[in-house]
């Protein structure tokens, strides 16, 4: 007879029930479970730090990386007992981007989401490892909801699009179809100014699914391998599953990973 791992309702995390914990905790995969080769890749969500996970990914095996690096990895991921300096943060980003470049196929691309504070830093970092293609600006409603200070309210965020080589995947047909759909709204989708993304946020505080759907449909095809090295609660994974992509996600926070497992599992069953 199976014994429940948790029975005290006070032990649950937001968005997770006791039944969820009993179901998903035994199913957690860690870096020890990552045994991938170029011939045999492995879909899944892994409880692992970004850099440790990337080191387990074979060379030139990933078609698309969508990354939203944490602004404070000293609190959430890598060095919880000491605060990073800006130099530490730069070096930390350099390390994972170096590994990310190694894992990408020659036709692969990376989309890196950032706010205006670090946008110029990521432009420089990406330029050291990839070929910059575009800086996309979109209306980040979450930024607008942050506490106001006595200056201009920021509502914009950047997405840097870069590729490993000049021979990269870009589905112009997907852009054209979406552009036709949006023509009546006088909003050219082919532009790098994405003001049409809906502002609604899900209950987990994530970014709009439409944002990731557009990236996936433009820079990947069905059954392509998509990697999110900072998965949080699984927004990219949800969009990837909906688009028929094969997905690998890393998350260092167990509660966030469990919620991502639940959300993606529910999507698979719907």
CB 199 within 8 A of CB 210: no
Contacts of 219 (CB under 8 A, 6+ apart): 64, 109, 111, 161, 168, 169, 170, 171
CA distances from 1 to 4, 9, 62, 164, 217 (A): 10, 22, 41, 52, 45
- pLDDT in 10s for each residue of the chain, 270 residues: 444 444 444 445 678 999 999 999 999 999 999 999 999 999 999 999 999 999 999 999 999 999 999 987 765 544 455 678 889 999 999 999 999 999 999 999 999 999 998 999 999 999 999 999 999 999 887 766 566 667 788 888 999 999 999 999 998 776 655 555 555 344 455 789 998 887 655 556 688 999 999 999 999 999 999 999 999 999 999 999 999 999 999 999 999 999 999 999 998 776
Contact of 123 with 135, CB cutoff 8 Å: yes
From 3.30.420.240, 3.30.1240.10, 3.40.190.10, 3.40.50.150, which CATH number describes the 44-269 domain? 3.40.50.150
């Amino acid at each position: 007879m199976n014994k429940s791992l948790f029975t005290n309702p006070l032990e649950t995390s937001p968005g997770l029930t006791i039944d969820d914990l009993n179901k998903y905790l035994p199913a957690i995969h860690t870096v020890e479970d990552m045994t991938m080769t170029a011939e045999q890749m492995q879909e899944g969500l892994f409880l692992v730090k970004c850099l440790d996970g990337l080191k387990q990914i074979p060379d030139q095996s990933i078609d698309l990386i969508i990354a939203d690096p944490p602004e404070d990895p000293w609190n959430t991921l890598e060095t919880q007992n000491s605060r990073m300096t800006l130099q530490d943060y730069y070096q930390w980003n350099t390390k994972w981007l170096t590994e990310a470049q190694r894992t990408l196929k020659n036709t692969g691309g990376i989309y890196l989401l950032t706010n205006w504070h670090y946008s110029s830093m990521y432009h420089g970092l990406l330029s050291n490892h990839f070929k910059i293609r575009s800086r996309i600006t979109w209306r980040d409603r979450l930024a607008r909801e942050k506490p106001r200070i006595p200056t201009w309210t920021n509502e914009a965020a950047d997405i840097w699009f870069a590729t490993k080589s000049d021979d990269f995947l870009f589905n112009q047909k997907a852009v054209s179809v979406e552009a036709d759909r949006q023509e009546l709204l006088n909003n050219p989708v082919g532009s790098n100014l994405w003001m049409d993304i809906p502002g609604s946020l899900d209950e987990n505080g994530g970014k709009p699914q439409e944002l990731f759907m557009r990236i996936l449909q433009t820079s990947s095809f069905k059954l392509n391998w998509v990697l999110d090295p900072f998965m949080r609660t699984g927004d990219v994974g949800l969009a990837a599953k909906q688009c028929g992509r094969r997905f690998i996600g890393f998350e260092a926070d167990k509660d966030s990973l469990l919620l991502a497992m639940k959300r993606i599992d529910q999507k698979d069953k719907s």
